[in-house]
Amino acid sequence: MSRIGKRPVPVPKGVTANVSGQKVTVKGPKGELSLVLVNEVRPEMTADGVSVTPVDETKRARAMWGMQRTLVQNLMVGVTDGYKRGLEIHGVGYRASLKGQKVEMLVGLSHEVLHPIPAGITVTIPKPTEIQISGIDKQKVGQLAAELRHYRPPEPYQGKGVRYQGEFILRKEGKKK
C-alpha cells in the first residue's frame, strides 16, 4: 500500500477540479492546468477531493500510484500559490540580465548565453547575480532553472558558477606545493 497514494488530494477553496477519464483539469486563481495520468491508475472525484487508485496490483501500478497522486497535488499547489525557484551567480564578472523574452547570462564563456523564457514562466532579476523564476507549472519552473544552471554549474575549487539558492557546494582543497 502506498502511504502517499491512498490519501485523497484536497481541493482548496477557489479551485475547481474536473476528472474526465484519465485527464485531471484544475482551475484556480493563478490559472488552469491539466494532466493526463498513466493507464495503471484511475483518478476519481470524491467528497474529500481527487483520489487516485491503482487499476490492478502489478508492480508498475503500485509504483505509479503515489507519483501520480503527487502530480495531481502539484497541480493544486500551482494554481493556488505557484512555484518559485531562485538561482545565484558566483564569480568575477558573472551576471545576468533580461533581453525581451530571453535571459542573457555572462558566465565566463567566450560569448553571452541567450536562453528563451517559455510561455507561462516569469523571470525576474532583482540583482545582476540573482535570478528568480516563478510560474504555476512545477515542472517548467524546475526545468528552466536546471537549464540555466547547466551553462555553468558550480565548480568545487573556487565555487564559481550558477547555483540554486541555498545550495551548498562542497569545496575541495587545491593543489599543494
Q: What is the tens place of the pLDDT at every residue in 7-16?
A: 999 999 999 9
d(CA 175, CA 20): 62
Domain boundaries, the chain: 16-80, 83-164
22: left (phi over 0), alpha (psi -120 to 50) or beta: alpha
d(CA 2, CA 41): 12
Return the H-helix or E-strand segment holding 41.
Answer: strand 41-45
Topology, domain 83-164: Outer Surface Protein A; domain 3 (3.90.930)
Q: What is the tens place of the pLDDT at every residue in 147-173?
A: 999 999 999 999 999 999 999 999 999
Q: What is the tens place of the pLDDT at every residue in 116-142?
A: 999 999 999 999 999 999 999 999 999
- In sequence order, the 6+-apart residues with CB closer than 8 A to the CB of 21 are none
- In sequence order, the 6+-apart residues with CB closer than 8 A to the CB of 40 are 54, 55, 56, 58, 60, 61, 64, 65
Q: What is the tens place of the pLDDT at every residue in 83-108?
A: 999 999 999 999 999 999 999 999 99
Strand arrangement of the beta sheet that strand 16-20 belongs to: 16-20, 23-28, 31-36
Q: What is the pTM of this model?
A: 0.89
d(CA 121, CA 152): 21
The reply to whether 16-80 and 83-164 are identical in fold is yes
Nearest to 102 by CA among 86, 128, 121, 77: 121
Over residues 6-33, the mean pLDDT reads 93
Nearest to 41 by CA among 7, 8, 66, 15: 66
- 3-state DSSP call for residue 72? helix
Query: Where does 16-80 sit in CATH, by number?
Result: 3.90.930.12
Sign of CA dihedral 73, 82, 151, 99: positive
Query: Nine-digit cell at 69?
Result: 497522486
Beta bridge partners of 161: 90
Q: Which whole-number Å values give the CA distances from 139 to 78, 88, 96, 146, in the listed order?
A: 10, 20, 22, 10
Over residues 51-71, the mean pLDDT reads 92
- 3-state DSSP call for residue 141? helix
